[in-house]
């Protein structure tokens, strides 16, 4: 008897159930059958890169209402649509980002400059400090749907400080907060007096931040060009590193306990490991003016910075150059930046009294994605990653339109760096071998370290 082998096919594998379904196509991925597969992928990667730049529209909207320069900002620890901002006219405003409107206005600093603002860990209260030496506590609940914003003129609690206050930061787990100014002070939320004071021969400390992973560690920037580390369990500060120029802001990595970023006056941002402060682990360049503010993404892989050059830049942690730059015609010098808790949006405050909302990914599509759209976007991302180092694709992906003053300043700084490099090379060529050593960029900016 003859045995006959037959092919059996299930109609469900290739027949559509409805007219809206797509045809299921079986493919053989043998490379010998597809000799031009890489060529096709290259063309798709090129088109995907071009379309990414075409659809790059990061600006979402501006929240206006402040009567003076926005000086500080903080995001709600649990609600993505809530953010609080303080201004130089003494107002603290609570914003609803979903509706792009102000819900509450707090006026308790007597029209004086608001220097710092922070949410409590439960999100129920807001603490603000200003030039009137007051630490004001506000009720942050705002269950108001429509209508004009509610104006609150009296704080629920006011603490008078004996020293000028320039910043505030709250402990992640305990009811404690730290303030800086003429003196760095640690406060208990249940008392009206500081439980600890730290001093290290510094006139003024203008920024202070609690570490999010090791909440007993404090980082601060002082007026003597130093970055100081405190441990609130000790009686004295731990360590101090002195830079060539003043440091304006500091931000701790929310995923790596020892890592922090310092925003400096010399147009650079420096990544430090607090265990080894003799040299930064990375130097992030691209700004053409003093960097005033910095904030980490909740993933810890990127951070955002604002500068006096009127631009917002996004940096990967492991790279020295920015991947994105945001700017508008009306935006002036940046004073504060923040990253939303869902890693999708960026907030910036600037001198012309507006809080702006941006997309963290400039070309990201807003709203709900269908499965086919999501798969197409993932496929395009893999193609761009595969051909990222191809010269033409790399040039298109890196190109950005920047304001004229930024472009001119970048060109001037490039000429200065090349001149310095050429001068150093000439000195080395006409000196004894080894007389002028090569100094890495990461070792040029730290002056001293003290313990």
* pLDDT at residue number 144: 63
Strand-strand pairing, 150-152 and 101-107: parallel
- Using the CB atoms, write b or e for 171-207: b if 16+ within 10 Å: bbeeebbbbbbbbbbbbebeeeebebebebebeebbb
The tens place of each residue's pLDDT in the chain, 451 residues long, gives 677 777 777 777 667 777 777 766 677 778 888 888 889 999 999 999 999 999 999 999 999 989 899 999 999 999 999 999 999 999 999 999 988 999 999 988 888 889 999 999 998 999 999 998 899 999 988 776 677 888 888 888 899 888 889 999 999 988 999 999 988 999 998 888 889 888 887 778 999 999 999 989 999 999 889 999 999 988 888 888 999 999 999 999 999 999 999 999 999 999 999 988 888 999 999 999 999 999 999 999 999 999 999 999 999 999 999 999 999 999 999 999 999 989 999 999 999 999 999 999 999 988 888 888 999 999 999 999 999 999 999 999 999 999 999 999 999 999 999 999 999 999 999 999 888 888 888 888 887 777 7
CATH number, domain of 227, equals 2.130.10.10
Q: Which two tokens stand for residue 272?
A: 């430090």
Task: Identify whether residues 325 and 410 lie together within a single domain.
Answer: no
Which letter does DSSP use for residue 285 in this model? B
Instruction: Put residue 181 in one of left, alpha, beta given phi > 0 → left and psi -120 to 50 → alpha.
Output: left
Task: Identify whether residues 322 and 180 lie together within a single domain.
Answer: yes
Task: Identify whether residues 409 and 342 lie together within a single domain.
Answer: no
Task: Identify whether residues 121 and 176 lie together within a single domain.
Answer: yes
In-domain check, residue 380: no
- Of how many residues is the chain composed? 451
In-domain check, residue 178: yes
Task: Identify whether residues 90 and 144 lie together within a single domain.
Answer: yes
The domain total for the chain is: 2
In-domain check, residue 30: no
* pLDDT at residue number 203: 76
Task: Identify whether residues 323 and 420 lie together within a single domain.
Answer: no
Task: Identify whether residues 108 and 159 lie together within a single domain.
Answer: yes
Short-list 74, 111, 68, 124, CA closest to 95: 74
In-domain check, residue 32: no
Task: Identify whether residues 330 and 407 lie together within a single domain.
Answer: no
Which helix (H) or strand (E) element contains residue 355? Answer: strand 354-359
Task: Identify whether residues 410 and 266 lie together within a single domain.
Answer: no
In-domain check, residue 105: yes
Containing structural domain, residue 417: 401-431
Measure the CA–CA gap between 449 and 243, rounded to whole angstroms. Answer: 9
In-domain check, residue 323: yes
Q: Strands across the sheet with 446-450, in order?
A: 205-210, 217-222, 226-231, 239-243, 446-450
In-domain check, residue 327: yes
Task: Identify whether residues 185 and 74 lie together within a single domain.
Answer: yes
* pLDDT at residue number 227: 92
Task: Identify whether residues 327 and 410 lie together within a single domain.
Answer: no
Task: Identify whether residues 331 and 256 lie together within a single domain.
Answer: yes
In-domain check, residue 13: no
* pLDDT at residue number 344: 92
């Amino acid at each position: 008897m003859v045995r006959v082998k037959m092919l059996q096919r299930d109609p469900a594998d290739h027949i559509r159930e409805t007219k809206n379904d797509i045809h299921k196509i079986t493919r053989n991925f043998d490379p010998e059958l597809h000799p031009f597969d890489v060529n096709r992928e290259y063309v798709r990667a090129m088109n995907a890169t071009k379309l990414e730049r075409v659809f790059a529209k990061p600006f979402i909207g501006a929240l206006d209402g402040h009567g003076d320069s926005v000086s500080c900002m903080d995001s709600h620890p649990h609600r993505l649509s809530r953010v609080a901002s303080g201004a130089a006219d003494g107002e603290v405003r609570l914003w609803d980002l979903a509706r792009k409107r102000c819900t509450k206005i707090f006026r308790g600093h007597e029209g004086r400059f608001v220097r710092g603002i922070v949410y409590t860990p439960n999100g129920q209260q807001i603490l603000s400090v200003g030039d009137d030496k007051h630490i004001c506590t506000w009720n942050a609940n705002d269950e108001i749907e429509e209508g004009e914003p509610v104006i609150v003129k009296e704080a629920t609690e006011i603490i008078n400080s004996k020293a000028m206050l320039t910043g505030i930061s709250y402990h992640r787990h305990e009811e404690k907060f730290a303030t800086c100014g003429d003196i760095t002070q640690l406060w208990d939320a249940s008392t009206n007096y500081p439980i600890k004071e730290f001093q290290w021969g510094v006139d003024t400390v203008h920024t202070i931040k609690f570490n999010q992973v090791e909440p007993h560690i404090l980082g601060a920037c002082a007026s003597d060009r130093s970055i100081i580390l405190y441990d609130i369990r000790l009686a004295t500060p731990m360590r101090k590193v002195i830079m060539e120029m003043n440091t304006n802001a500091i931000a701790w990595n929310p995923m790596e306990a020892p890592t922090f970023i310092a925003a400096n006056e010399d147009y650079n941002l420096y990544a430090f490991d607090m265990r080894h402060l003799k040299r930064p682990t990375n130097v992030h360049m691209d700004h053409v003016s003093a960097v005033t503010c910095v904030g980490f993404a909740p993933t810890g892989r990127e951070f955002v910075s604002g500068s006096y050059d009127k631009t917002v830049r996004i940096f990967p942690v492991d790279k020295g150059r920015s991947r994105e730059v945001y700017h508008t015609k009306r935006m002036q010098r940046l004073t504060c930046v923040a990253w939303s808790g869902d890693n999708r949006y960026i907030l910036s405050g600037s001198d012309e009294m507006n809080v702006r909302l941006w997309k963290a990914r400039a070309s990201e599509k807003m709203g709900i994605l269908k499965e086919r759209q999501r798969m197409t976007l993932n496929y395009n991302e893999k193609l761009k990653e595969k051909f990222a180092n191809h010269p033409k694709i790399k040039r298109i992906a890196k190109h950005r339109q920047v304001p004229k003053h930024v472009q001119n300043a970048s060109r001037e700084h490039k000429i200065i760096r090349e001149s310095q490099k050429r001068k150093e090379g000439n000195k080395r060529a006409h000196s004894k071998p080894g007389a002028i050593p090569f100094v890495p960029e990461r070792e040029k900016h730290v002056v001293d370290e003290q313990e």
